[in-house]
Structure 1
Amino acid sequence: MFFILMVFFSTNVYAKNTWIVRDIKLEGLKHVAAKEVFRNLVFNIGSKISKNDIKNSILALFKTKKFENIRVISSSNILIFKLQERPLIQNIFITGNSMIQDTVLKKYLTQLEIDHGFFLNPFHIKIFKKNIRQFYHDHGKYACNIKILSIPHTDHTIDLKIIISEGSLTYLNKIKIFGNDHFSGDKIISLFELNHHNIWWNIFEKNFYSYKKLQQGLKKLKDFYLNQGYFYFKIKQHNIHFSKNKNKVDIIIDIFEGHQYKISRFLIHGSVFNHYNDILNIVNLHNDELYNQEKIYSIVNDIKKLLFQYGYIKSQVILSPQINHRDKTIILNFNIDLQKRYFVRKIYFSGNKITKNFVLQRKMQQSEGEYFNIKKVENGKKKLEKTGYFKHVNVMYNIFSDKLRQIDVIYQVEEQSTGSVNFGLGYGFDSGLSFNSIISQDNLFGSGNNLNTNVTVNKYQKYADLSIGYPYFFSKKTEFNTRIFYSNKKYHLDDEENIFKKTYGIESNLGFRINDTDIVNIGTGYAHNAIKKFYDQKNHTFLKSNTSNSDSLINDANKNNLLNDYTISYSWMHDSLKYLYFPIFGNRTYISAKHTIPGSDNHFYKIIFDKVKYTPLNKKKNFIFLYHVHMGIGHGFKKHRLPFYENFSINNFNNIRGFQSETIGPKTIFDDIISKNCIQKEDNQLCESNRSIGGNAVIISNFELITPIPLINKKYSQFLRSSFFIDVGNIWNTNINNIQDVDSSTFSMLHNLKNTYSSFGVSLQWFSPIGPLVFSYAHPIQKNHDRQLEPFQFNIGKNW
């Protein structure tokens, strides 16, 4: 569709350059108001005009996109505008689309002004058809067809009927390679995502043809040869042949390999001052090394990054190869021009509506007034990302004055919610109805401080705590955390015996940051424990014993069964994980120790070692090996035992999947085999409690292979993870030497370290709006004789 412009002038008009308009008449208007037409004219009645004024008026009317044709007739200084409007769109009907939802199409149509109340614009129709067709092509549907029919009405309005025939997918039939002498056709075809063979997680998906994928494959092919020394490699041509119905495609690629070239030596040119040795270390090329374009370009980028660290933001590194065709060698010349060195004038922050500027400022390594250092600037970006306050962090640079060599750094952030209010209600076979409430704010009033509260109530426990943290206490390298807590817990031994423990206390620690990844903490704590043993005597007989853990524990307390513990703790943590949630590489190591000090009613120490490491197995970092180990040991001294409430236990962060919660480790043994809360031991009359009371030693290891999720689009990989795992470990009580010497409250132990629990299975992790959710299905390898299994498990918040 095109526009025809016809302007007629009478002979007397052409005889004059200008004239005065006596009147203006409009003909052909349907939906456009006359006022709008007159508003776009560059003259009025009585104006002195020329031919150019009429042309400009016509152009102004066409710019409204409401007219298809305009004719202007002049007679006796009267201008008559004969206007042909474009039809007005009344309704739009869409049929045949399944890949694209109606709402998406209608939104795009509205953006192109193809909607009710708009005048039909043929150019916008072309854009719509072109882009929708390209969408289907990108998704492998080259047989698609898009028709747009106009249904006119008598009032100069139309209905548009958009008919989409999506067609079937166009699959790759074959790829033929010509000109390859040094590499097999299969090797070359494997470089293309269009190859016939699918990786295991997409086994059900055929490879459809896509022009974008083909171009990506051709680039990979060229890079492959250039990285193998074939300096003059080129793709001579590639031809694409569709079948008649476009459901299959054949691709023919003709290449020229050429000869392999080696690097004989390299030279560094330019005034690089005292940076020569650093640059020399970056250019790790050796004589007679095959030419590798990827490696050489990487060297160039590394040189630029190095110079960026010293403020040379406009430095240039130009490669100039000298070719020796006879010897098939190359001399590489690195021509370096440092140009100007820039200072940072100001550091700005934008987008932080809640978080205070000083919170962002204290994360900066780059200082104002110093030479610009890209490494420090990027480290500032990483630190901001690691806070968890921001959804996105971008860095921009603005040269304030080229003459003064000044640059401004702008951090653009997009804030996200840092607080949560969670309430949980559940029911457990042992614990009955359970209520849990967690309120947390990691960026309190935008100050960077954090506040957390936790309340848990069930049959066995009432617990509450309040903690607050100051990441920057009195300097950038110190942090302070404190917590107050209250607990009222019931330890169920059997149907007649229970221990009730009420605890309140406070813990505080001061952290000293050594560097970006390491922090050392020292802390103090106080806990007041009120312990009461309740016994409902019935006609049961018990095994006799000279010792009892629970009795000895109470005997160690004062007459009111009150225990006051004063502790000092020490810890060191190294954290180099990439990303807080769903890390892809790095490790986190945590070592801590805690012991009581004089004045405590108990005398004990505990040591914990925890390490997790992520190792990528490929360049895409979608295959990752995860190793996690958790070890702990605790003992009493001065003839004291480790208090039972300080025992190690299994939790969501250190567990062996596939086994019921709180069933791993030492348990209470008693002789009441009728009790509903115990399991009869094999070949004797002893009964073992359902629930473990923990022990003073623990070793747990988790091995996981993180893999792409089958049949899931790549864009969801940052929210979903799957893995295969093996878990192994146990909890022991090393303070008991004779398992036969027990009574109704004696804690049993497993015989030796060989008696461990282990399992294997699969896991799915989802980073949901409420935090990480973990689903797992496990099968035991080695298990306890009571078979207290739980194959399917679900946890909230676990993220090694």
Structure 2
Amino acid sequence: MKFNKIILAALLAVSSSSFAQTNYDFVVEDIRVEGLQRVALGAALTYLPVQRGDAMNKFRVTQLIRSLYSSTHFESVKIYRDGSVLVVEVEERPTISSIIFDGNDDIKDEQLQESLDGANIRIGEPLDRTVITSIENGLKDFFYSIGKYNATVNAIVTPLPRNRVDLKLTFEEGDAAKIKQINIVGNEVYDDTELFGQMELKFDTPWWDFTSETRYQQQTLSGDMETITSYYKDRGYLQFGITSTQVSMSPEKDGIYITLNLSEGETYTVSDIELVGDLLGYEEFVRQLLPIRTGLLYSQAQVTYAEEFVSKYLGRYGYAYPTVTTIPEINEEDKTVKLTISVDPGKRIYVRRVNIEGNQTTADEVLRQNVVQLEGTWLSEGLLETSKSQLSRLTYMEEVEYETVRLPGEDDKVDIEFKVKEQASGQFNAGIGYGDATRLSLQAGIQQDNFLGTGKRVGANISTVSYQSTAQLTYLDPYFTIDGISLGGSLSYSEFDGGDFGTVRFNTKRWSLGGNIGYPINEVNRISFGLTYSDVELTSDNTQFEQTRQFYRQFEDPNDPEAPIDYASLLGSVTWSRNTLNRGLFPSSGSSQRASFSITTPNSDVNYFKFVSDNKWYYPLSRNQRWTVLGRIRLGYGNGYGDVDGIEQVLPFTENFTAGGADTLRGFENNTVGPRGVRRISSQALTTPNGVPVINDPSQDTLTLSSRSLGGNAMAIGGIELIVPTPFVETEFDNSVRTSLFYDVGNVWDTEFDYDAVKDLRLVQTQSSQVLADFSDWKYYRSSAGLSVQWISPMGPMVFSFSRALKEREGDDAKFFTFNIGSTF
């Protein structure tokens, strides 16, 4: 800016001086503007504070030149007199034809363009050359702040025809200076190693510690200084301070030496806590909830928490802008401190209007169903955060932010501005997928979670994979009533081949019709009820296992034992769900719990019940939540109840739980973990040497095991994952690509399997690797560990898993690499 003023002053002096050599006291009879190319004559005349008939003088010349330069259209301006004609000769600023960035690695093109936009340097705009130097210097300062002291920035302006230019910014970033040494002086209470452990900046790290930050960054150093200060003040050192900081550089500008000088002081104990000001009559209640206690060491963290707690507490009642300050009174004689917390709640703030911006597809009323902060009521920070969380959990919302806007002239009213960014909420599928378990799959259909912007979920899908063909219609209205009651239904038909699914061989044809209704308990809890009618036709290879014999008894036809089995059921269900996740897709914090209990009605052909519980917890390890720990556990149990026609009911084996694959136990082939089918073969009739038959001996029966899993009626599967930043992927793609290191463990077992009845029988006609195990033992678990990458690609979701089975059983089918394309996860 100072440089601009110097140039302008010089130009004014030259122009005024040249004009002063002539007789400038004249009346303007005409005005002639020369040198215009793109700027219209009419537009140029609007910048001239002179008209025909005006008397010219030195002051008007200065005013005229200043006005033309302020229009930002002109590179130079000259004023002449031709008789009574005022001649204005201009040279227009060149127009920017293109902007090119070359050599920038640490700064993205988008960030650079934002910086240029602030200086009004855009394609199609006039180029102000005086701004170029300040931009170069500003970018150099940025590189210096991240330790790149050898970085250079050059702006190259290339003239083009018709007074246009190309602007090219070239960067030579160089290598960042590494921290060679950090010295801490003045610390006696805590040694260097302990304080270094609190700092993000590191030096002299081992080669394998690639996550440590050894590159010098000014902002990181400032953060480390705040961390050390908090470390001391949270432990009673009230008057701790960093007295000075020295940062020196090696002559080659590739090494940084940092010295921090500390003044530790002594510890102080809290002697008294006093609350003053207006606490709306809740002083004793607030006092009991404060974390600060007399007789304990002073803690800055507890003081900060106390201030935030009081502010949030007042915010619940509409006092959104309270002033809460803590005044320490230090007694140097006994090293104690009295804390006086002063509270001024200010005025109660009311919400005038709630505005929502950025929703191009979703209707306002759909989003407002999730906003619990109402217009006309007092402002509550808790309600705003709840509103943001509920909006963020919508699968068609990518980002949600809000801000409170105070109204001019109104000290007790605000507007709330919600800014949302939508993401694709549905897709039309017509493609081919392939997975190592599903093999070739064909699918076609449409799924829309935000149908026509109404928030309703509508789907019509037809798919076929190696083991199943499905046609399904689904509908869900999550806002059936204004109170948040949901209503949905589905109609489906499927054909299933257990042999290709990884289980024992059986085929089913099933069609079902169901409906459900859900009720919100509060912002995060929900309960729903469902009722589904199903008709199943079951065809098997006529192999009856010990685990399926009881089920077949009630349906088998003695005259046609190979006839298909047909049974119908009416299944009622109740589901409770709780969701505090921060996002609907790829969450990084919060938790979700879901528990469902379903049972067939007594008039069904089969009587059984099932219980399933799914739980996930996300614990972020870093502030940006790119490092997160995920813990999950899934439990399930099912069985029959009562009897039908005198036959005790069991869980149909078609409803058994299975495990293995991307959704349960990675490292094992899909649906292959669990009890094997056990077939008992009666002994042949024995005869004496004279050919006299004797009675068969059951102890001489033999067993065979299926090579495939039959599943079980009980399941417990869990795991822990460390979600890490995906290498070579930018931060903005975290919502579409996720990488994690995992450990999976679990088992599927059959509580009704009678191991004692068959454990002494001889096992024949089986693979040499198989052994008869107690399939009713829940401790017969498996485990695996590995790396998983999930990607929401334009083709659909993709899951890649590299895993190794750590605990496997005889007959298990372990897989090192698994992948699926075009399937959900």
Q: Does 1:593 align with 2:594?
A: no
Displacement of 1:743: 12
Please tell me the residue identity of whatever aligns with 2:708: R
* Counterpart residue number, 1:326: 333
Match of 1:563 in 2: 567
Matched-pair contact (CA < 8 Å) for 1:320–1:335:
yes
User: Which residue pairs with 2:655 in the alignment?
Assistant: 646
Find out whether 1:181 has 2:181 as its counterpart: no
Confirm or deny: 8 A CA contact 1:629 1:702 kept in the other structure. no
Q: Label 1:758 to 1:730 Cα distance change in 2 as closer, same or farther (>3 A).
A: same
Residue in structure 2 matched with residue 764 of structure 1 by the alignment: 788
2:819 to 776, 794, 798: 794
Q: State whether residues 544 and 742 of structure 1, in contact with CA within 8 Å, keep that contact through their aligned partners in structure 2.
A: no
Query: Does structure 2 conserve the Cα–Cα contact (< 8 Å) formed by 1:449 and 1:468?
Result: yes
**Counterpart of 2:750?**
732
1:129 Cα deviation from its structure 2 partner:
0.7
CA contact (8 A) 1:701 1:729 kept: no
Partners of 1:268 and 1:333 within 8 A in 2: yes
Amino acid in structure 2 at the alignment position of 1:631: G
What letter is aligned with 1:175?
A: I
Q: Distance in 2 between matches of 1:216 and 1:543?
A: 69
Partners of 1:10 and 1:75 within 8 A in 2: no
Equivalent AA in structure 2 for residue 606 of structure 1: K
Matched position secondary structure for 2:604: coil
The reply on whether 1:342 has 2:349 as its aligned counterpart is yes
2:613 equivalent in structure 1: 609
Partner of 1:634: 639
The residue type paired with residue 764 of structure 1 is S
Cα separation, partners in 2 of 1:756 and 1:775, compared to 1, 3 Å: farther
- Of the structure 1 ranges 443-452 and 394-403, higher mean CA displacement relative to structure 2 is found in 394-403
How is 1:344-423 mapped onto 2 (pairs within 5 angstroms)?
A: 344-399=351-406, 405-423=412-430
What is the CA–CA distance in structure 1 between the aligned matches of 2:800 and 2:257, rounded to whole Å?
44
Aligned match for 1:443, one of 428, 438, 450: 450
Give, in angstroms, the shift of residue 38 of structure 1.
4.6
Q: Using the TM superposition, give the Cα deviation of residue 483 of structure 1 relative to its aligned residue in structure 2, in angstroms.
A: 1.8
Whole-Å separation in 2 of the counterparts to 1:102 and 1:408 = 35
**C-alpha displacement at 1:31, in angstroms?**
9.0
Larger displacement relative to structure 2 (94-103 or 646-655): 94-103
Aligned equivalents of 1:773 and 1:347: distance in 2?
39
- Secondary structure, aligned partner of 2:556: helix
Residue identity opposite 1:235 in structure 2: I
How far is 1:659 from its partner? 1.2
Aligned to 2:806: 781
Deviations 1:168-192 (A, max 9, x none): 3211121223333333233334443
- Correspondence 1:84-483 to 2 at 5 A: 121-148=128-155, 164-196=171-203, 203=210, 207-399=214-406, 405-426=412-433, 433-437=440-444, 439-474=446-481, 476-483=483-490
Task: Give the Cα–Cα distance (whole angstroms) in 2 for the partners of residues 545 and 399 of structure 1.
Answer: 73
242-251 vs 431-440, which moves further: 431-440
1:203-227 Cα offsets, whole Å, 9 max, x none, are 1776122222222223323333333
Q: Percent identity?
A: 25
Residue 802 of structure 2 aligns to a residue in which SS? strand
Give the match's secondary structure for 2:313: helix
Does the aligned pair in 1 maintain the 2:616–2:630 contact within 8 Å?
A: no
The one of 37, 47, 52 equivalent to 2:54 is 47
Report how far residue 607 of structure 1 moved: 2.6
1:698 maps to which residue? 715
Q: Judging changes above 3 Å, is the alpha-carbon distance between structure 1 residues 507 and 178 closer, same or farther for their aligned structure 2 residues?
A: same
What's the offset of the Cα at 1:57?
Answer: 0.9
Which residue of 738, 761, 770 corresponds with 1:720? 738
In structure 1, the gaps of 5 or more residues are 536-541, 673-683
Secondary structure at the counterpart of residue 485 of structure 1: strand
CA contact (8 A) 1:477 1:514 kept: no
Counterpart Cα distance in 1 of 2:522 and 2:745: 33
Tell me how far apart the structure 2 counterparts of residues 546 and 311 of structure 1 sit (CA, whole Å): 63
Q: Deviations over 1:492-536 (max 9, x none)?
A: 499xx964432212122332322233333332221112334567x
TM-score (norm 1): 0.83
Equivalent position SS for 1:464: strand
Unpaired stretches in structure 2, ≥5 consecutive residues: 682-700, 766-771
Give TM-score, length-normalised by structure 2. 0.81
Query: 1:579 aligned to 573, 579, 583, which one?
Result: 583
- How big is the shift at 1:779? 1.9
Could you tell me which amino acid in structure 2 is paired with residue 699 of structure 1? A
CA change 1:597–1:610 in 2 (3 A) is same
Mean Cα displacement is larger for which, 772-781 or 413-422? 772-781
CA gap 1:698/1:743 in 2 versus in 1, 3 angstroms: farther
Deviates further, 545-554 or 186-195: 545-554
Aligned mates of 2:406, 2:166 — CA distance in 1: 53
Given residue 720 of structure 1, which amino acid in structure 2 is its aligned partner?
Answer: R
- 1:1-20 map, 5 Å: 2-3=6-7, 4=10, 5-6=12-13, 7-8=16-17, 19-20=26-27
- Answer yes or no: is the 8 Å Cα contact 1:703–1:727 preserved in 2: no
User: Cα distance, 1:428 vs. partner?
Assistant: 6.7
How far has the Cα of 1:242 moved from its partner?
Answer: 1.7
Q: 1:571 Cα shift?
A: 2.9
* 1:215-250 deviation per Cα after TM superposition (whole angstroms, max 9, x unaligned): 222332333333333333333322222222211122
- The letter for the 1-side match of 2:800 is F
- Shift, 1:724, TM fit: 3.1
The Cα offsets for residues 676-703 of structure 1, whole Å up to 9 and x where unpaired, read as xxxxxxxx99764443232323232323
- Give the SS at the match of 2:281: helix
Contact 1:698 1:730 in 2 (8 A): yes
Q: CA offsets per residue over residues 359-400 of structure 1, 9 Å max, x none? A: 223323333343332212321221111222322222233445
Q: Which amino acid aligns with 1:410?
A: E
Cα displacement string for residues 633-671 of structure 1 (whole angstroms, at most 9, x for unaligned residues)? 323531233223222223657522211112222344679
CA contact 1:654–1:700 (8 Å) conserved in 2: no
For the residues of structure 1 that align with 2:545 and 2:275, how far apart are their CA atoms? 87
Pick aligned residue for 1:661 from 652, 659, 670:
670
Moved more, 115-124 or 562-571: 115-124
Q: Secondary structure at the match of 1:452?
A: strand
- For residues 802 and 667 of structure 2, what CA distance do their matches in structure 1 show? 7
Question: Partners of 1:97 and 1:429 in 2: how far apart?
Answer: 42
C-alpha contact (below 8 Å) 1:581/1:799 kept by paired residues: no
1:463 partner SS: strand
1:80 and 1:613 map into 2 onto residues whose CA distance is 77
Does 443-452 or 178-187 show the bigger shift?
178-187
- Find the residue that maps to 1:607 and give its secondary structure: strand
Cα deviations by residue, 1:64-95 (Å, 9 ceiling, x for unpaired): 44555545466876655566776788998877
